Chains A and B, each alone.
Chain A
Amino acid sequence: MSDYFFLLIATALVNNVVLVKFLGLCPFMGVSKRIDSALGMGMATTFVIVLAASICWNIEHWLLTPLGLGYLRIITFILVIAAVVQFTEMVIHKMAPALYQTLGIYLPLIATNCAVLGLVLINNQEKHSFVTALVYDFGSAAGFTLALVMFAGMRERLALARVPEVFSGAPIGFILASLMSLAFMGFSGLNFK
C-alpha cells in the first residue's frame, strides 16, 4: 500500500508531468488565466487520462500483445483518447455548461494534449501492472492539475502586477513557468523511486 502512496508522491511532485517532464504545455499556458477554469481543466484532463489509461492498458494487454500488433499501438491509443475526449466533452456540456463555455477550444484539445498519450505510452514502456498504471496516471494527472492551478494562481496575481511592457503577457508567463520548473527540480532530492 505504501508503495502506491510513494508512487503517487513521486509522480505528482518529483516527476511532475508538466514541470519536470515537460508534457502538456499547451493547456498549461492556455487555460491558466483563472483558477476556476484551471481547476476544471485539470479535473477534465484527470478524468480523460485515467479513463484512457485503463482502456489502453486493457487493449494493450488483451489485444495488441497477444496478436503481436505492437506497431498499431500509437494509432490505437490515439483512437481511444479521441473517443474518451469526445465523451468527456459531452458529459461536461451536459453537466457543467458554464465550465464548457470557459474551457472552450481547450476541451477538445485535450485529445492532442501530449501528456495523455505520453502517460499511456510510458505505462506500456515501463510495463506497469494495471493498478500501478492507474495510480501512476492518477498521480501524474494530479500533478498536472496541481501545476496548472498553482500557475493560474500566480498569473492571477501577475495580472495586477506592473510588468515591464516587453515582458507583459505570454513572456512573463514563460519566465514564471521556468521558475516553477526550477522549484520543482528541488523535489528530485526526495528520490522515492
Chain B
Amino acid sequence: MLAAIASLTVLGAVLGLGLGVAARKFAIDGDPLADEIAALMPGSNCGQCGMAGCAIAAKAIAEGTATATVCPPGGKALAASIAAKLGISVDLDEIADNGPMMAYVKEEICIGCCKCNKVCPTDAMIGAAKQIHGVIREACTGCGLCVERCPTEAAQMQPVPITLQHWVWPKPASVTTPAST
C-alpha cells in the first residue's frame, strides 16, 4: 500500500517537474498586445463577432484583421478602450449602442423548456424543466444567445433595469448636459 502511494506520488512529482521545466524551455512569447486586448473583452465567448472566442477576436484585432468595433456586447465603451490601447481612432457613431442590455423572460409565454440555460455562456438563465425561467442580472452579459434559441420568443433583451438595489447617483458629466437628465 505504502509502496503504491509512494511510487505514484514520486512518478507524479517527477512528471510534473519535467513538464514544468519543459514549459519554461518551450515558453511561447504570446503577443502581449493580444493578451491586453483579451483582458478588456467581455470574456463570455458568445461568438457574436463571428469568431470562436474572445481570445481569438483579440488576436484578430491586434493583427489588424478585425476592427476595434467587432464586439457587439462590448459596445461603445469597449471599442473606445480598444482604440485607446491601439492608438487608433474609431467612428463610435457606427456602433448601435443602446446602453448595457440584459436578457429577461416574458413569464406569460415561457414554457420552461430549459433550452436557454443550455446556451447561456455565463449560467445566467435559471429555472427547472416546465418551470418559468428567470435571469440572474449579475451574471447576464447581454450576449443575446438565449433570444435566438428561445422557441417561444419569451427570452428578450432589454436595457438593464434600474432597481432600488442598483440605482446609483448620475455621473456629474451627464448631469451638466441638459439633454440627459
**Option from B8, B11, B18 in Cβ contact (under 8 Å) with A87:** B18
| Known pairs A69-B7, A87-B18, A87-B22 / 20 extra A-B pairs, C-beta < 8 Å | A59-B11, A63-B7, A63-B11, A67-B4, A67-B7, A72-B8, A76-B11, A79-B8, A79-B11, A79-B12, A79-B15, A80-B15, A83-B15, A83-B18, A86-B19, A87-B19, A90-B22, A91-B26, A94-B26, A94-B28
Judged by DSSP, the binding face of B is: helix
A80 to B19, CA, bound (A): 11
Residues of A within 8 A of B15 (CB): 79-80, 83
Docked pose: A175 CA to B1 CA in angstroms: 49
Establish whether residues B3 and A90, one from each chain, have CB atoms under 8 Å apart when the complex forms.
no
**Which residues does chain A contribute within 8 Å of B22, judged by CB atoms?**
87, 90-91
B19 touches A72 (CB 8 A): no
B168 in the interface (beta carbon within 8 A)? no
Interface string of A67-83 (1 = CB under 8 A from B): 10100100110011001
Min C-beta distance of B55 to chain A, whole Å? 13
Contact A69 B18 (CB under 8 A): no
Residues of B within 8 A of A72 (CB): 4, 7-8
In the complex, the answer to whether A76 meets B18 with C-beta atoms within 8 Å is no
**B:4-57 near A, CB below 8 Å:** 4, 7-8, 11-12, 15-16, 18-19, 22-23, 26, 28
Count B-side interface residues using an 8 Å CB cutoff.
Answer: 14
Q: Which residues of B contact A90 (CB under 8 A)?
A: 19, 22-23, 26
Is residue A93 within 8 Å, beta carbon to beta carbon, of the partner chain? yes
Contact yes or no, A75 B18, CB < 8 A: no
Q: How far in angstroms is the closest Cβ of chain A from B102?
A: 32
Which residue of chain B lies nearest to A64 when distances are taken between CB atoms in the complex? B7
Closest to A75 in B: B8
Report Cα–Cα, A75/B11, bound state, in Å: 11
CA A91 to CA B26, docked complex, whole Å: 6
Q: Are B4 and A69 in contact (CB under 8 A)?
A: yes
- Distance in angstroms from A79 CB to nearest chain B CB is 6
Residues of A within 8 A of B4 (CB): 67, 69, 72
CA distance A72 to B12 in the complex (A): 13
A55 to B149 Cα, complex, angstroms? 49
Cα of A46 to Cα of B90 in the assembled complex, Å: 49
CB distance from A130 to the nearest CB of B (A): 19
In the complex, chain B residues whose CB is within 8 Å of the CB of A79? 8, 11-12, 15
Q: Is the CB of B23 within 8 A of A76?
A: no
**Residues 56-68 of chain A: 1 if any B CB is under 8 Å from the residue's CB, otherwise 0?**
0001000110010
Q: How far is the CA of A72 from the CA of B22 in the complex (A)?
A: 26
Contact of A69 among B3, B12, B19, B26 (CB under 8 A): B3
Question: Quick one: closest B residue to A82, CB to CB?
Answer: B15
A67 to B3, CA, bound (A): 7
**A29-73 interface code vs B (CB 8 A; 1 in, 0 out):** 000000000000000000000000000000100011001010010
Q: Which residues of A are found within 8 Å of B16, using beta-carbon distances?
A: 83
Residue of B nearest to A55 (CB): B15
